[in-house]
Structure 1
């Protein structure tokens, strides 16, 4: 396949079109953390189920905001006042407690002077009268959709689901991922690495990236640069939904991933994307027991491997998990330093964003892990973009604070 490299968005669209969200299962809310809702979630109850006080104070009738009052009881959280409040009466009430029947206002305790059971106003009455009251159904009503399908379940979403009356949630099955390191130069033990070797760090990096999502992932390798060794590794990954290789996906004499995949029965869907770093990525598929496996062949240079995993592996996994939005988020910021004109491929520069401006690292070589580890964004430079100056707008992809997942 010798066609021109694909634009990034076209390649991503082709990859995501190869799969769909996996089968649905129901798990408890805590077990659903990090996963995506397979169906819209409707509330099974109303929250709050009754009008509540938003402050500590005294509940009174709306037509009696000037006082004085006679204290007739108390309403505490979990222990509502059983009676009905009449004009001239007040009920001591705590934050989160049910508003007694007859009461339509809560006066703050600091605006009142209490003497035994008598209460007089010293401050200002609430305006409007219901200012310190949380009405019934303020958060949501029974039957309302509280979370759409495709929502990722985080701490707030888990709390909302439970508040809406759910113990179990419908989510998609976790994808099974196999990460394969290949290359004769790779040393499995970084403490026993000869001068002719490099530590097999890509596999660990890709495994960590995959596990930033809720998947079942394992690592195979390092694998020798032979067709037989690669075929054996593919056989070991035959039950995986996604197989990810690192290295050997280009066209050199020792780049054997493509011929090994073809011999194994996989079909190449596309190869090469017009990005830098990461051009020699390949995507292949293989039918197994009526199920389609997807193989991603990523470059061996560590930064290239990371960038292509960010733009292809993570979106693919999100798609299988049923994410409402599979592609990573991109935002606009301003440059803090000049950036040179770009070449014919779209480039992703490693950089540091302080929340206001972004600065690219000086070393952008695809083998430089130190600058990758020191980065929190990828700066998106379009093909043939002109030189840019400090203050110019630029788009970035977030690598931290939720960007990876």
Structure 2
């Protein structure tokens, strides 16, 4: 049986970035750029005024106040065809190009305009370049602005628009399908018969995927019958990632591994030295043209097992597929809020909350009382999992432990 780290390494080894595609700019937010981007022009493309005021020649303003003939008015989006002469000023708006001959701007608050003239009385000497952004000051044509691998934040989307990108090559969001299995399941809106339970796992897993920017597809509940189960799983193999819930343990009706094998999915591992979620199954489907084989995760049917399996293994794989190569388990450190008696030969993940009131040092981790891997109520109040290494011991209050956030 593999350790968690060994299993993680096998998952990430098979999770390569998806082939790039061209998308409309507004559909590319938060995706990973798949091409280098260079400036197509200087920015700004001209010397521009940074303030509403009056463009002048700084040499014409030797004293504290001077009168100028008002030669023209230049609005943003306009340009001047004349050269500013001695003793002339041009009324200029923020963002407008400077007229030829002018080399400074005096703001409108330091001016009085009357009868085609303007008197300027700045509080300090006017300097060349005052309130002007020179051409190319932000970047020059041909400058590299973004590199492949950059995530397209809102500001970077704006930068792409500024350099003329209506479409852009990116690593697409992975496609994810969820197939719940089990004769004991009914949909959330149904009343369970004796021996049945509602299908909560699919909704929980879908919400985890949505929280990461995906649009998962949830298939109808697949019965514990080989032919029907194969038909349901085959539809999921059209996606980049397939999550199967239930049917991967050691029961007589745990048919998922065998059915996946019959569909050409190659098992990579089955069972991990962890609690909960030990029966977790992972494999890779056949290649799909230019796209790699589907990553298939068989998650145990107990809710906490599925929740932990997603956060621990599925989420990093999704990050890798989306072009983020440094995806890891995302562990952080916290300090136990109380003593914890741990007895297990497996790496154990216990539901916990984290305190945000700590001013200095690691936050506090408080272990929640839970009745086991079916305790969805405890999961609903948790912030993540406290992680305990194999072995029997008491972890004392204040001791540093690893913490796996759910988000």
Q: Answer whether TM exceeds 0.5 for this pair.
A: yes
Match of 1:121 in 2: 121
Q: Which moved more, 1:229-238 or 1:271-280?
A: 271-280
Structure 1 contact 48–136 (Cα < 8 Å) conserved = yes
Secondary structure (helix, strand or coil) at the match of 1:222 reads: coil
Deviation at 1:244, TM superposition (A): 0.9
Identify the match of residue 362 of structure 1 among 364, 368, 383: 368
Counterpart-to-counterpart distance in 2, 1:299 and 1:386:
28
Identify the match of residue 48 of structure 1 among 41, 44, 61: 44
**Structure ID, larger Rg:** 2
Match of 1:304 in 2: 305
Structure 2 contact 367–386 (Cα < 8 Å) conserved = no
Any stretches of 5+ residues in structure 1 without a counterpart? 400-405
Question: CA distance change for structure 1 residues 15 and 59 in 2, over 3 Å: closer, same or farther?
Answer: same
Any stretches of 5+ residues in structure 2 without a counterpart? none
- Normalised by the size of structure 1, how large is the TM-score? 0.81
Match of 1:347 in 2: 349
Structure 1 contact 206–309 (Cα < 8 Å) conserved = yes
CA RMSD after TM alignment = 3.4
- Normalised by the size of structure 2, how large is the TM-score? 0.81
Identify the match of residue 396 of structure 2 among 376, 379, 387: 387
Structure 1 segment 228-267 matched on structure 2, within 5 A: 228-267=227-266
Counterpart-to-counterpart distance in 1, 2:124 and 2:111:
9
Counterpart-to-counterpart distance in 2, 1:207 and 1:38:
27
Structure 1 segment 1-400 matched on structure 2, within 5 A: 3-7=1-5, 10-65=6-61, 66-70=64-68, 71-116=70-115, 117-125=117-125, 130=129, 132-194=131-193, 196-212=195-211, 217-288=216-287, 292-323=293-324, 325-327=326-328, 337-338=337-338, 340=340, 345=347, 347=349, 349-352=351-354, 354=356, 357=363, 360=366, 362-364=368-370, 365-375=372-382, 377-378=383-384, 381=387, 383=389, 386-389=395-398, 397=405, 399=407
Deviations along 1:267-286, whole A, 9 cap, x unmatched? 22123344554443221123
Structure 1 contact 112–123 (Cα < 8 Å) conserved = no
Secondary structure (helix, strand or coil) at the match of 1:16 reads: helix
Deviation at 1:159, TM superposition (A): 1.5
Counterpart-to-counterpart distance in 2, 1:96 and 1:329:
45
Secondary structure (helix, strand or coil) at the match of 2:32 reads: coil
Structure 1 contact 286–292 (Cα < 8 Å) conserved = yes
Q: Which moved more, 1:263-272 or 1:360-369?
A: 360-369
Deviation at 1:122, TM superposition (A): 4.8
Question: CA distance change for structure 1 residues 38 and 125 in 2, over 3 Å: closer, same or farther?
Answer: same
Which of structure 1's runs of 4+ aligned residues deviate more than 6 A? none
Deviations along 1:94-121, whole A, 9 cap, x unmatched? 2222233233333332234444522221
Structure 1 contact 67–88 (Cα < 8 Å) conserved = no
